[in-house]
Amino acid sequence: MRPTTGRLAVLRSPVGASSAVLLVVLVALAVFAPILWGDRAAAIDTDSLQQGPSADHLLGTDQLGRDIFYRVLVATRLTIGLALLATVIGVVTGLVLGSIPSVLPRWAARIVTSAVNIAVAFPGLLLALFFAVIFGTGTIGAVLAIAFAITPSFARLTQTLTASVSGRDFIAAARVCGVGRFRLLTRHVLPNIAEPLVINATLAAGSALTAFAGLSFLGIGVQAPSYDWGRLLGEGLNRIYITPAPALGPAVAVVLAGLAFNLFGEAAASVHRNQQRGKATAPHEPVEDRSEGGLLTVRNLHVTFPGGIRPVRGVSFTVHNGEMIGVVGESGSGKSLTALAVSRLIEHPGRVTADRLEFNGKPVQKTQDRELGTQLAMVFQDPTTSFNPTRRIGGQLAEVSEVHQGLRRRAALGKAVDRLEAVRIPEPERRAKQYPHEFSGGMRQRAMIAMGLMGEPQLVIADEPTTALDVTVQREVLKLLARIRKDRDAAVLLISHDITVVAQTCDRVLVMYAGRIVEELPTDELFTAARHPYTTALLKAVPDLDTDRDAPLAVIPGRPPEPGEIRQGCPFAPRCPLADDQCRTQEPELETFGENHRVACWKSESELAGVR
Amino acid sequence: MSELDFRNVTVRFGHHTAVDDVSLTVPAGQVVGLVGESGSGKSTLAATAVGLVKPTEGEVRADGKVQMVFQDPYSSLDPRMSIGNSIAEAMPRGTNKKAEVARLLELVNLDPGRASSLPARLSGGQRQRVALARALAGDPRVVIADEITSALDVSVQGAVLNLVRDLQRQLGLSMLFISHNLAVVRYVSDRVAVMKTGRIVEEGPAAQVLADPRHEYTRELLAAAPRRHTRLEVS
Ligand SMILES: Nc1ncnc2c1ncn2[C@@H]1O[C@H](COP(=O)(O)OP(=O)(O)O)[C@@H](O)[C@H]1O
Ligand code: SF4
Ligand SMILES: [Mg+2]
């Protein structure tokens, strides 16, 4: 997925934009206020001591008759400057402490890490006060106190981020190439964690600013004759019952500036989190469809995402009772999204529309959860994430029947054991009491199928159920699906990127490309009668145990388009040896060619036979 | 003469023995295919050859440099570094990096003009070519390819396998080619080794191991490998 927004995307949100404006104003004040109004803020006027607000003095005057409004403006430089200085020192120290363990010998790294872990446990302000006492009152002491209060959380953040990057293969690859530890850190680790660090530093600057005001207010920060907002606040507070303005001015300044930093940081963080999101598009208009349906009837199914991304573009097919249908295609062709749409599992902001999407004669959108939950079973590629790791397998299976069929606990557990046995898990009673991690990958996948069997599924949708498994286990799982279909007369929709897997088990194959079905045909005819150039190319590209070892493998040049790249014409045209002008301008529809065979291609049979 | 030699290598992680007394030789200029199910210790064995993991017992000998290509081309390239820099980083000091990067990109059939691209602009197959170019940049005698086509789509897999075979022959590399896909291993390898629960259970010339497997597990693997004209029978 490509980020649809650039670095300045943060300015496009209202919060981001207004906080950015505030920050610019603050910086301008910090730079220019002392030059423009430094004299007026320092001018002592013995004729007007401790006055309230007036036209001459917007926020009144202090005990030496100096104008508080101008003093607040001029104090911007010192306040922001010190806050930033503290932040920079704190962040840099944190960065060093957080990243240095990766270049230190192991024992030293451990000491640094545990020191950081202990320091993180103390509240920041407490640390600041503690350091303020150690470093003594005064500006330098306060800067260091706040800096070191920020340090531990930054060190921790750096550690976590570094750890998450260090596990990636590109770090291992660089190490194998002989890249040293220091260069590894500066060239590979830090650039990859810079963005979240900068965002957190902005947030930290906001807290540093308020913390600093607090210290000055308490009298252990900036000392006279210098003044920052905290000191002005402290001075104003003494007279708050006589006139509130002298305290309100600096207080508002502190709040506004603190907010500006925090909101900007939050806005940047949320942009960082949703770099991929864009604008929603209008769905297509549904059309009346009266063609004959089956157990599962899908007509003109579309799945759209914000930003005009349409990964599934008008998919139509029918699954009849007891059929085993294969769906093949490269990753990104829309196989999984089609399956998820059928099971009502597309989440916001995705949108599903269809002329017809019916299961058992009823629109899927209107089917009750309980009905869908017991009659339609879904098996995913990665069974590890589909089970709750903290609960026993048997209990998790039983829950399905308790919730959907109102079975008692004991009866449900009995059924769970029965279903585990049905998927050929040895010693099902003992296994039912085990946790998911005690199961091997293949067994977990079988348990997942068993969970689907807790209801009385009429349709099992299996999305790449064997991709994460080894060939020997893969065969077991495929056999299991085939047996469920035979014994229970359930239909199976088997999704796979591997055309040989589908060829071995299914009755019919749907070939998907760029969000559409481009060919549908009986499996028996796959190797003899496939017509679409993409299908025939796929069949030739997959090596098997009979492939000629001395000839180069057949390849399909180029790559499939991303959902955002689909333009006019046949989406396979850039890779198709037969493409002509018509192919490049008009997209062919899926049309019937003889019995049970549909193809979306402009070329006639004789032309296609030439490339088979 | 052999280029890479594992001698009685054992690797233990705590109580778990990932590699159990493995001896395996990759002869000069040949491709040894290593098959076995996931978790059988293939990657751990490979990691000992490039120093990412230290053998608990035994030793690994290599004549000349060993380089490695990883499984997932989406995580094996630094997303913030141009592909040219990633390749250049692996070169010895004092090379004319710019010219060499161009030569290597050309070698793996990529446009040298793309040296300044970030990995995000490349497809999976193109990234895997970059990863190959980076492995070759260190001028290795031995290349370890760990499941390098598993994360790729079938339409791209063929092109990468063709490239691997061409390069291996052209440069006379020795190669340890790891995969769980028997058909893929069969296509590229001169010899085949079969690994199960940390041990090598069978090793020999590819044609012989595949035509006349000795070990029960090899037979099972062969029987389970999908073939296009056989249907899975449900008992
Ligand atoms: N939440 C999402 N937002 C935007 N695009 C998505 C989202 N989920 C999937 N896609 C895109 O939809 C396309 C099809 O995805 P998918 O159905 O998972 O394909 P397949 O299962 O065939 O590999 C992919 O290009 C993917 O990037
Ligand atoms: S319509 Fe044209 S480009 Fe598309 S598959 Fe058929 S021949 Fe190829
Ligand atoms: Mg998928």
pLDDT tens figures, B50-90: 998 999 999 999 988 899 998 888 888 999 999 999 999 98
Domain count for chain B, please give it.
1
**A450 and A432 in contact (C-beta within 8 Å)?**
no
Q: Which of A437-446, A484-493, A589-598, B196-205 bottoms out in mean pLDDT, i.e. has the lowest?
A: A437-446
Of B78, B222, B224, the CB nearest to A474: B224
Cβ-based contacts of B165 with chain A (< 8 Å):
552
A65 in the Ramachandran plot: left (φ > 0), alpha (ψ -120 to 50) or beta?
A: left
A216-255 pLDDT, tens digit each: 888 888 887 888 898 888 888 888 888 888 888 888 998 9
Q: Which two tokens stand for residue B136?
A: 């070759």
Instruction: Specify whether A262 is located in the same domain as A304.
Output: no
Which residues form ligand 1's pocket by a CB distance below 6 Å? A 1, 305, 309, 311, 329, 331-337, 350, 562-563
Instruction: Specify whether A409 is located in the same domain as A553.
Output: yes
Q: Which domain holds residue B18?
A: 2-224
Q: Is residue A287 domain-resident?
A: no
* Ligand number, closest to the Cα atom of A607: 2
* Ligand number, closest to the Cα atom of A591: 2
Q: Is residue B28 domain-resident?
A: yes
Q: Is residue A5 domain-resident?
A: no
- Give me the phi and psi of A464, to 5 degrees please: 50, 50
Distance, in Å, from the CA atom of B9 to the CA atom of B56, rounded to the nearest integer, reads 7
Q: Is residue B198 domain-resident?
A: yes
Q: How confident is the model at residue A520 (pLDDT cuts 50, 70, 90)?
A: very high
Instruction: Specify whether A463 is located in the same domain as A528.
Output: yes
Domain count for chain A, please give it.
2
Q: Which two tokens stand for residue A319?
A: 């699954």
Cβ-based contacts of A173 with chain B (< 8 Å):
68, 70, 76-77, 131, 134
Q: How confident is the model at residue A276 (pLDDT cuts 50, 70, 90)?
A: very low
DSSP string across A526-576: HHHH--SHHHHHHHHHS--TTS-SSSPPP---S-PPPGGG--SS-TTGGG-
B21 three-class SS: strand
Distance, in Å, from the CA atom of B131 to the CA atom of B134, rounded to the nearest integer, reads 5
Burial (CB count within 10 angstroms: exposed 0-12, middle 13-18, buried 19+), residue B117:
middle
Instruction: Please give the residue of chain A at the shortest CA–CA distance from B124.
Output: A559
Q: How confident is the model at residue B232 (pLDDT cuts 50, 70, 90)?
A: low
Q: Is residue B143 domain-resident?
A: yes
A318-376 pLDDT, tens digit each: 999 999 999 998 888 899 899 989 988 888 788 999 999 999 888 988 888 778 878 88
Task: Tell me if chain A has a CB within 8 Å of the CB of B216.
Answer: no
Task: Tell me what pLDDT residue A554 has.
Answer: 87
Instruction: Specify whether A569 is located in the same domain as A434.
Output: yes
Distance of alpha carbon B8 from the chain centroid? 21
A164-184 pLDDT, tens digit each: 787 777 888 888 777 888 888
Residues of chain A with pLDDT > 70, as a percent, come to: 92
Cβ-based contacts of A331 with chain B (< 8 Å):
153
Which domain CATH number covers A498? 3.40.50.300
Nearest CA to CA, how far is A500 from chain B (Å)? Answer: 6
Q: How confident is the model at residue A6 (pLDDT cuts 50, 70, 90)?
A: very low
Distance, in Å, from the CA atom of B200 to the CA atom of B208, rounded to the nearest integer, reads 16
Q: Which domain holds residue A215?
A: 11-273
Task: Tell me if chain A has a CB within 8 Å of the CB of B90.
Answer: yes
Q: Is residue A144 domain-resident?
A: yes
Q: How confident is the model at residue B208 (pLDDT cuts 50, 70, 90)?
A: very high
Q: Is residue A371 domain-resident?
A: yes
pLDDT above 80 for A408: yes
Instruction: Please give the residue of chain B at the shortest CA–CA distance from A1.
Output: B120
Give the mean pLDDT of chain A.
84
Q: Is residue B35 domain-resident?
A: yes
Burial (CB count within 10 angstroms: exposed 0-12, middle 13-18, buried 19+), residue B18:
buried
Instruction: Specify whether A340 is located in the same domain as A269.
Output: no
pTM of the model as a whole: 0.70
Ligand 3 centre to CA of A464 (Å) is 7
Preferred mutation among A176, A186, A324 to probe B, highest tally of B CBs within 10 A: A176
ipTM of the complex: 0.82
Give the mean pLDDT of chain B.
89
Q: Which atom of ligand 1 is nearest to the CA of A340?
A: 17
**B145 and B160 in contact (C-beta within 8 Å)?**
no
Q: Is residue B233 domain-resident?
A: no
Cβ-based contacts of B218 with chain A (< 8 Å):
none
A442-469 pLDDT, tens digit each: 788 888 888 888 888 899 999 888 766 6
Instruction: Specify whether A472 is located in the same domain as A538.
Output: yes
If you take atom 11 of ligand 1, which residue's CA is the nearest one?
A311
Instruction: Specify whether A335 is located in the same domain as A265.
Output: no
Instruction: Specify whether A261 is located in the same domain as A317.
Output: no
Distance, in Å, from the CA atom of A451 to the CA atom of A293, rounded to the nearest integer, reads 28
Instruction: Specify whether A350 is located in the same domain as A256.
Output: no
C-beta neighbour count of B17 within 10 angstroms: 16
Residue whose entry in the numeric block shows the structure tokens 């007036």? A54
Distance, in Å, from the CA atom of A342 to the CA atom of A364, rounded to the nearest integer, reads 7
Task: Tell me what pLDDT residue A273 has.
Answer: 62
Task: Tell me if chain A has a CB within 8 Å of the CB of B30.
Answer: no
DSSP string across A143-201: HHHHHHHHHHHHHHHHHHHHHHHHTSHHHHHHHHTT--HHHIIIIIIHHHHHHHHHHHH
Mean pLDDT, residues A144-159 taken together = 88
Which residues form ligand 2's pocket by a CB distance below 6 Å? A 533, 570, 572-573, 576, 578-579, 583, 588, 601-603
Of B81, B159, B187, the CB nearest to A555: B159
Task: Tell me what pLDDT residue A368 has.
Answer: 81
Test A545 with B38 for CB contact under 8 angstroms.
Answer: no
Test A498 with B79 for CB contact under 8 angstroms.
Answer: no
Mean pLDDT, residues A487-510 taken together = 89
Nearest CA to CA, how far is A329 from chain B (Å)? Answer: 9
* Ligand number, closest to the Cα atom of A536: 2
C-beta neighbour count of A98 within 10 angstroms: 27
Task: Tell me what pLDDT residue A45 has.
Answer: 80
Nearest CA to CA, how far is A68 from chain B (Å)? Answer: 49
Q: Is residue A437 domain-resident?
A: yes
Task: Tell me if chain A has a CB within 8 Å of the CB of B131.
Answer: yes
Q: How confident is the model at residue A199 (pLDDT cuts 50, 70, 90)?
A: confident
Cβ-based contacts of A191 with chain B (< 8 Å):
78, 80-81
Instruction: Specify whether A449 is located in the same domain as A581.
Output: yes
A372-401 pLDDT, tens digit each: 878 888 887 766 667 887 889 999 889 888
Instruction: Specify whether A315 is located in the same domain as A203.
Output: no
Q: Is residue A284 domain-resident?
A: no
pLDDT above 60 for A540: yes
Instruction: Specify whether A327 is located in the same domain as A264.
Output: no
Who has greater pLDDT, A58 or A584?
A584
**A531 and B212 in contact (C-beta within 8 Å)?**
no
Q: Is residue A573 domain-resident?
A: yes
Which domain CATH number covers A157? 1.10.3720.10
**A378 and A463 in contact (C-beta within 8 Å)?**
yes
Q: Is residue A282 domain-resident?
A: no
Cβ-based contacts of A538 with chain B (< 8 Å):
154-155
Which domain CATH number covers B151? 3.40.50.300
**A523 and A502 in contact (C-beta within 8 Å)?**
yes
- Residues A472, A476, A482: CA angle, nearest 5 degrees: 140
